[in-house]
Amino acid sequence: MRYNRCSRCELNYVLKGEELCDICKRELAGKYGDDEVHIEENICPYCEKNKLELDEEMCSYCRNKKLKGKR
Ligand SMILES: [Zn+2]
Ligand SMILES: [Zn+2]
């Protein structure tokens, strides 16, 4: 088995064929806002499930619900 150094931090070893160690991968994923990582950024406070667009207060699902219930 041959290991290479991570090309980013140059500290951790990575498997052959890989460029980045897990740590760097995770960091990058967080930075680029990958879907799985970083969920808590903008979550609808009402249903606590759906993502919000920038400066939305609630997700469209909850908004619809609220509109329907409103008189
Ligand atoms: Zn690394
Ligand atoms: Zn919601």
Are residues 33 and 1 part of one domain? yes
Give the CA dihedral 67, 68, 69, 70, nearest 10 degrees.
50
Instruction: Report the predicted TM-score, pTM, of the whole model to 2 decimal places.
Output: 0.39
| Number of structural domains the chain divides into | 2
- The answer on pLDDT for 39 being more than 50 is no
Q: Say what percent of the chain tops pLDDT 90.
A: 34
What is the number of other CB atoms lying within 10 angstroms of the CB of residue 37? 16
Ligand 1 center–CA 42 separation, angstroms: 28
Ligand 1 center–CA 70 separation, angstroms: 52
Are residues 34 and 52 part of one domain? no
Ligand 1 center–CA 55 separation, angstroms: 34
Ligand 2 center–CA 38 separation, angstroms: 17
Which ligand is closest to the CA of 64, given by its number? Answer: 2
Are residues 45 and 34 part of one domain? no
